[in-house]
Amino acid sequence: MNAKLATKTIVAIGIGTAVFVILNRFAAIPSGIPNTNIQTSYAFLALMAIVFGPLAGLLIGLIGHALTDFVVWGSVWWSWVVVSAFVGLVIGLFSKSVNIEEGEFGRKQIISFNIGQVVAQGVGWFLLAPILDILIYAEPANKVFVQGLIAGTSNIVTVGVIGTILLLAYAKTRSKSNSLDIEA
């Protein structure tokens, strides 16, 4: 597996992690509900996962979230870090079907991207996060499920809106695969 890891992917993981940390730290938008911020970083994670694939998504989510916890809290909430890694991985699995490098990001790709992100985040935040919280920290079940529900819903909406905008912008910078015409 490591033999195939391209330099570009390695750098993408590194820089992606740094951007993820910064977005997590500074670019959280207050949603109006106390203590719930809209995390733009997950839209970015989705973009990186689609562009650079599942392994990059997994590692940016994993290292990025762990590092954010480290620099902000001084300690790591592993249960939620695992979820970030999972979300990156699963969205990355859809990178083949979206195939953003072709420069085409129309209705079909938008739908398949959003199905991917809803599945990834739904499973991640609604199930995985609460279950890990219960296993590791033995927190009350109804509390962690409500937390997961709030975080998950806000992240799904954020990725749906901002993630789609980001991918549209990115697709415009790629040259379309069928952009050349044969001149008679």
Partner 1 sequence: MAVEMLSYIDKKSPIHSLTGATKLICLLLWSFTAMLTYDTRILLFLFVASIVIFKISKIKLKEVSFVLLLILTFLMLNNIAIYLFSPQEGVGIYGTKHVLWDLPGRYDLTAEQIFYQINITLKYFVVIPAALLFMVTTQPSEFASSLNRIGVSYRIAYSVAIALRYIPDIQRDYRNIALAQQARGIDLSRKEKLSRRLKNAAAIIVPLIFSSLERIEVISNSMDLRGFGKNKKRTWYRARPFKVGDYMAITFLTVLFIVSIIVTFHDGNRFYNPF
Q: What residues make contact with partner 1 under the rule CB under 8 A?
A: 2, 5-8, 10-19, 21-23, 25-27, 29-32, 35, 38, 40, 43-44, 47, 59, 63-64, 67, 70-76, 78, 136-143, 146-147, 158, 161-162, 165-166, 169-170, 173
Which residues are registered as beta bridge partners of 37? 30
Residue 44 to residue 22: CA distance in whole angstroms: 11
Residue 109 to residue 51: CA distance in whole angstroms: 13
Residue 14 vs 176, nearer CB to partner 1: 14
Residue 166 CB, shortest distance to partner 1, in Å, is: 7
CA dihedral over 124, 66, 73, 39, signed as positive or negative: negative
Residue 173 vs 179, nearer CB to partner 1: 173
Residue 138 CB, shortest distance to partner 1, in Å, is: 6
Residue 75 vs 178, nearer CB to partner 1: 75
Nearest partner of 87 among 131, 145, 43, 26, judged by Cα: 43
